[in-house]
Amino acid sequence: MTILIVATSNPGKLQEMQTYLKDSNWELQLKPSELEIEETGDTFTANACLKASEVAKATGEWAIADDSGLQVDALQGAPGIYSARYGKTDKDRIERLLRELGNGSNREGQFVCVIAMARPNGEIALQAEGICRGTIEHTPRGTSGFGYDPIFYLPEQQLTFAEMTPEMKQRYSHRGKAFASLLPQLSKLT
Ligand code: IMP
């Protein structure tokens, strides 16, 4: 088993990554908490690559990072790469988004996830992207998941992400889709 450092401090993301990589021959380890990488990029891809590369160089191990966020059409793609910085807590972030969206009829949006994997020398070895389109609910529903899950609704499933089982979210979500395209490439690396 090769060690793979997960470059995140978000427990929700870590839990999902563990599920996606459970049958792989990588041993996941959480990045040291003192190692904080500032997200200075202006795209999901730039930030995912930055986090993976910096954590790999600092630890001397392979590293994987995900940069993700919610883009709301009527808010011109906001909060986008600022999704984690849109408020102090998940509750604050959801309240701000619902306030800014008001009662507008266009409630469409999408979750985007870019995953980057870096070699121990910091060089990016793999990248993958996943997108999941849906609509924004007027009030939060469901208790699973994390972040904006309670207000992100998938019309085809008639459920918010927070009402789905982890397996369902894995199947439809932006992160699930990004991992589905990453996994075949990942098995060729080792
Ligand atoms: P970052 O990738 O660390 O910059 O954070 C992305 C932010 O987007 C998270 O803190 C969440 O607020 C939000 N986000 C990303 N993926 C999801 C998801 O699967 N469900 C709900 N919120 C998400």
Bridge partner residues of 103 (DSSP): none
* Residue 47, domain extent: 2-189
Q: Is the model's pLDDT at 190 over the cut of 80?
A: no
What's the CA gap between 56 and 120, in Å, rounded?
Answer: 5
In terms of Cα–Cα distance, which of 32, 30, 2 is closest to 14? 30
Neighbour-count burial for 64-91, b at 16+ CB within 10 Å, e otherwise? bbbbbbbbbebbeebbbbebbebeeebe
What one-character-per-residue DSSP string does 80-133 give?
GGGGGGSSSSHHHHHHHHHHHHTT-S--EEEEEEEEEEE-TTS-EEEEEEEEEE
Instruction: Please report the pLDDT score of residue 46 as a whole number.
Output: 98
Ligand 1 atom at minimal distance to the Cα of residue 161: 20
The residue that leads in pLDDT, 190 or 110, is 110
pLDDT score of 10: 84
Residues with CB under 6 A from ligand 1: 10, 39, 67-70, 83-84, 93, 111, 145-149, 161, 173, 175
Domains contained in the chain, number: 1
| pLDDT value for 24 | 86
Q: Which of 67, 73, 90, 149 is catalytic?
A: 67
Query: Is the overall model pTM greater than 0.75, yes or no?
Result: yes
Average pLDDT for 134-163 = 97
Distance (angstroms) between ligand 1 centre and the Cα of 62 equals 23
Task: Tell me the pLDDT tens digit for each residue of 21-44.
Answer: 888 889 999 999 899 999 999 999
Instruction: Give 94-122 pLDDT, tens digit per residue.
Output: 999 999 999 989 999 999 999 999 999 99
186 falls in which pLDDT band (50, 70, 90)?
confident
CATH number, domain of 52, equals: 3.90.950.10
Q: Has 67 been annotated as catalytic?
A: yes
Residue closest by Cα to atom 2 of ligand 1: 67
